[in-house]
Amino acid sequence: MRISSILSLAALVSISSAKPSGCGKNFPEGFPTPGSSKTIDLPNSDRSYRIHIPENYDVNRRTPVYFSFCGASRNGKEQEGLSQFSNPEFNPDGIAVYPEIWLSNSLANTSHPNDVDFTNDLLTHLEEKLCVDPSRIYANGKSNGGEFAAVIACNATVGSRFAAFSVVSGAWHETGDVPGVGPCEPAMREEGYPFLIFHGTVDQTAPIDGSKEDDEVSLIDVLHKWTERNGCEKDAKWKSNVTVFEDPLVKHASWDCAGKKDIVQFYREEDNGHCWPSTVPNDDYETMGRKKCPGGHYVFNATEYIFDFYKQHRLNQMV
């Protein structure tokens, strides 16, 4: 893998202290006008991505960037509609990016172009063209795209450019030395790797307790691995496990690790399937039907919780 080498701490600090080269430049040609979205080809590649520029974008103000990766057989435009990351109700000030990824899980055919390199190159491209805040770059994904967000976190180079991660209905496969993400060698950094995970108890596509038939692991194993990576002891118990909603039952668990408060969090959704939680019907509920998304909608908006989580985390060395 082209970017698999681990960066030294000094190299990370050097990279993070550089002024974003896109700040102060004229608004780039070919990008969507502020307040709109557009699918764009990444220069010097055969890859594309969809991007939304907030209406209040300022070429002189550093702007957070939110990546959201689609699930298998889906595309960036569908992920935009599903995640609602472009909706100013949830994200009034940030750039939302929906890469057209091919290798959306660790079991994918590696003869295809590498999505990790694509993500790294895309982020560099955005920093060159737009006034990006390098301390506030975030990764999210649904299903296989969620697993890919974890693959990014496990890469010492590109993962170190992201402040926090969130996963909705992740498909966690058993590969390598770490359940769900294969070999995991993130760079050491003081902020750790904040993770927020959502999963429904009646998810038949990516069962919460795993599936031997599809080599998918239990979500609790995934959570324990990320608490370990953040400095907790093996199989650490959550510091709290509270009821958020009674009907259907939604429970929220969180972990403090090595002095990092609520560094790993989990929402367990009773009576929800392989569906992005939303108080109004979305593409998941409309296309998957009641068998996978029994309620037609849910009792909370995952997107609202994701952005609240992201606000709590930034890369300190980049301030």
The one-letter amino acid code at 65 reads V
Q: Tally Cβ neighbours within 10 Å of residue 226.
A: 27
d(CA 303, CA 23): 28
Of 11-20, 206-215, 223-232, minimum mean pLDDT range: 11-20
Summarised one tens digit per residue, pLDDT across range 291-317 is: 678 778 899 999 999 999 999 999 974
Pairing of strands 164-168, 178-180: unpaired
d(CA 220, CA 230): 15
Summarised one tens digit per residue, pLDDT across range 118-174 is: 999 999 999 999 999 999 999 999 998 998 899 899 999 999 999 999 999 998 876
4-7 contact pairs (CB < 8 A, 24+): 4/155, 4/156, 4/157, 5/156, 5/157, 6/156, 6/157, 6/185, 6/187, 7/156, 7/157, 7/160, 7/187
Q: Could you state, in order of their start, the residue ranges of all structural domains in the chain?
A: 9-318
What is the mean pLDDT of the segment spanning 27-42? 97
Phi, psi of 293 (to 5 degrees): -130, 80
What is the mean pLDDT of the segment spanning 81-89? 97
Summarised one tens digit per residue, pLDDT across range 243-257 is: 999 999 999 999 999
Instruction: State pTM to two decimals.
Output: 0.90
Which SS3 state, helix, strand or coil, does residue 56 take? coil
Which SS3 state, helix, strand or coil, does residue 81 take? helix
d(CA 17, CA 120): 18
Give the pLDDT of residue 1. Answer: 42
Give the pLDDT of residue 110. Answer: 56
Kindly indicate the confidence band of residue 8, based on its pLDDT and cuts at 50, 70 and 90. very low
Report the CATH number of the 9-318 domain. Answer: 3.40.50.1820
Angle at 223 between CA 241 and CA 248, to 5 degrees: 45
Summarised one tens digit per residue, pLDDT across range 186-204 is: 888 889 999 999 999 999 9
Q: Tally Cβ neighbours within 10 Å of residue 24.
A: 10
Give the pLDDT of residue 261. Answer: 94
The pair of three-digit structure tokens given for residue 277, joined into one six-digit string:
């939680």
Task: Identify which of 267, 262, 248 has the alpha carbon closest to the alpha carbon of residue 312.
Answer: 262
Task: Identify which of 15, 193, 191 has the alpha carbon closest to the alpha carbon of residue 7.
Answer: 15
